[in-house]
């Protein structure tokens, strides 16, 4: 009986681990496609005190970048508003999905 359990459990665990790795790779943000831009914050929309919903920045060439966000991105919305008020640059790492730019992380520029 114990051998039957071991014989069944090992392949099931291997299958489960393979499934988790496959799903994780399919649902990931595509870190290989991680892009970056630096600019001045012009608009911040928070969904809570700590979570960011939308962010607009203008780069040195005058191009406006409009981002969506899915929660905490390294800075709170109020910290990003401080960047907007002081003119301090912010660096945004992002990926593109379905034509939208999604923030992965924001940091000092």
CATH number, residue 37: 2.40.50.140
pTM given for the model? 0.69
> pLDDT value at position 13?
40
* Closest to 97 in 3D by CA, of 63, 61, 60, 70: 70
- 78 within some domain: yes
Q: What angle do CA 42, 31, 81 make, to 5 degrees?
A: 20
Q: Percent of the chain beyond pLDDT 90?
A: 69
Cα–Cα distances in angstroms (integers) from residue 9 to residues 1, 12, 18, 21, 101, in the given order: 12, 5, 14, 18, 43
Average pLDDT over the chain reads 82
- 57 within some domain: yes
pLDDT value at 84 more than 50: yes
> pLDDT value at position 60?
95
- 43 within some domain: yes
Q: Which has the higher per-residue pLDDT, 62 or 15? A: 62
Q: What is the number of alpha carbons within 13 Å of residue 47 lying toward its C-beta?
A: 11
- 1 within some domain: no
State the Cα–Cα distance between residues 69 and 52, nearest whole angstrom.
6
- 38 within some domain: yes
86-92 average pLDDT score: 96
Helix H or strand E encompassing 21: helix 2-27
> pLDDT value at position 33?
86
Q: How confident is the model at residue 14 (pLDDT cuts 50, 70, 90)?
A: low
Q: How many domains does the chain have?
A: 1
- 6 within some domain: no
pLDDT value at 3 more than 90: no
Identify the domain containing residue 60 by its residue range: 32-108
- 18 within some domain: no
Q: CB neighbours of 16 closer than 8 A, spacing ≥ 6?
A: none
């Amino acid at each position: 009986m114990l051998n039957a359990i071991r014989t069944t459990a090992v392949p099931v665990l291997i299958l489960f681990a393979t499934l988790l790795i496959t799903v994780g790779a399919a649902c990931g943000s595509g870190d290989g496609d991680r892009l970056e831009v630096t600019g001045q914050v012009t608009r911040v929309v928070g969904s809570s005190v700590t979570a960011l919903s939308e962010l607009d920045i203008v780069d040195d060439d005058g191009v406006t970048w409009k981002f969506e966000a899915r929660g905490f991105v390294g800075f709170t919305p109020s910290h990003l508003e401080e960047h907007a008020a002081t003119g301090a640059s912010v660096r945004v790492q992002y990926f593109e999905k379905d034509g939208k730019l999604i923030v992965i992380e924001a940091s000092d520029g």
